[in-house]
Structure 1
Amino acid sequence: MKHRWHEKIDHPKSPLELLITDFLAKVDEGTKLFEEKFGNRNILRLWRSGKIEHCGQTTNGIQHELHGVGCAIHLPSESVNFDYGSNKKINGFDVWRLYIYALDRPLVYELLRQENTKKEFKELVLLKTIKKYLHLMTYIYSTQLTHRNKFIL
């Protein structure tokens, strides 16, 4: 099939890009549950003000564990651990959290090795597929970039 010059042709996603997409979708799913129960996706302030415990049940079978600037969400069959970004953003990640997320899903990411993940992560940074937030150890996937995001190139 021929493509016209103005049509966008997507390149196939790498295993790490698929992992990033999966990770961010799971964070989105979990924080939507927070919004339903607590009225906000970022529940750190509720914890720090003493309105909720740092560990608790969000809904039936779903637990949350708040820490520092982030949260671990324990779903019935899997978990996801993430940090909240500036302005309550939930779209950041780092190589360690991605690797831990992949380890929790050995059937899906069975060939993923930590060394390969770090290497591919660096390659995606060089290709500007992922970008680093300014002054944070968090990255953002380039498909989510807006003019408001501040990142190191």
Structure 2
Amino acid sequence: MSDQNEALDILINDFISMVESSTLIFERKFGTRDIRRLWYTKTIKRRGRVTRGVKYELHGVGCRINLSTGSVDFDYGPNGEINGFDTWRLYNFARERPSKHRKYCDEKIIKKELEEYLNLKKIKKMSAFSNLYVWADSKETD
């Protein structure tokens, strides 16, 4: 495997890890990682503060979480999954961390390498109804 692909692995894993740790904050505060239903039922506002230094903004099927260490924007999967990624989300994540992911501050590079991963069957579509990808060995998909 080339350094190029190892770097994409790092970017994807960093993104998923930040979504995981960020949504754990939701679970501690609200009892669920998928807070969309709370918004839909007006239990919480579309944007707000979870704890000091942690803010969220829900949008469509996703959420942007702002922490003191940076932000992450992700979409929930069709069944509330949080392990999905796409070109746009990885690009924005990398742009906020240029010292670590400088190469991926170019959206075209991410798109090209994700296509290579898809062809190599390292990643797959989360579902027929989603534009998100997951690792091919992910247990949260069919």
Show the 5 A alignment for 1:95-134.
95-112=87-104, 113-132=106-125, 133-134=127-128
Query: TM-score by structure 2 length?
Result: 0.91
Could you state the TM-score of these two structures normalised by the residue count of structure 1?
A: 0.85
Deviations 1:49-83 (A, max 9, x none): 00101110011100000000110000113000001
Given that residues 61 and 75 in structure 2 are in contact (C-alpha distance below 8 angstroms), is that contact kept between their aligned partners in structure 1? Answer: yes
**Deviation string for 1:25-57 (max 9, x for gaps)?**
000001000000000000000001001011100
For residues 56 and 47 of structure 2, the distance between their equivalents in structure 1, rounded to whole angstroms, comes to: 6
Indicate if the aligned counterparts of 2:65 and 2:73 stay in contact, CA closer than 8 A: yes
SS at structure 1 position matched to 2:129: coil
Size of the aligned set, in residue pairs, is 139
Structure 1: unaligned runs, 5 residues or longer:
1-9
Instruction: Give 1:4's aligned residue.
Output: none
Determine if the alignment matches structure 1 residue 52 to structure 2 residue 47.
Answer: no
Flag the structure with higher helix content. Answer: 2
1:11 deviates by: 8.9
Q: Which 4+ runs in 1 deviate beyond 6 A?
A: none
Tell me the equivalent position of 1:94: 86
Report the counterpart of residue 19 of structure 1 in structure 2.
11
Higher Rg: 1
Distance 2:75 2:93 in 1: 13
Unpaired stretches in structure 2, ≥5 consecutive residues: none
